[in-house]
């Protein structure tokens, strides 16, 4: 799935939000011992931002 496109869609290009989502995705992938970021990581990163 196109995580980069979904990050852009969600952030509407706001650089601060792109950075936070990317960091959240990377941290989530690391936590789940993944080598690649996927849509589930993005979903959890978005959920973290909305808490």
Crossing angle, helix 15-31 and helix 3-11, to 10 degrees? 140
Residue ranges per domain, the chain?
3-49
CA pseudo-torsion sign 6, 49, 42, 14: positive
Q: What is the DSSP string of the chain?
A: --HHHHHHHHHTT-HHHHHHHHHHHHHHHHHTT-SS--HHHHHHHHHHHT-
Per-residue pLDDT of the chain (51 residues; tens, 9 = 90+): 699 999 999 999 999 999 999 999 999 999 999 999 999 999 999 999 998
């Amino acid at each position: 799935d196109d995580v980069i496109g979904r990050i852009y869609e969600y952030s509407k290009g706001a650089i601060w939000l792109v950075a936070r989502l990317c960091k959240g995705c990377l941290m989530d992938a690391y936590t789940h011992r993944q080598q690649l970021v996927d849509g589930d990581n993005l979903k959890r990163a978005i959920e973290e931002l909305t808490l």
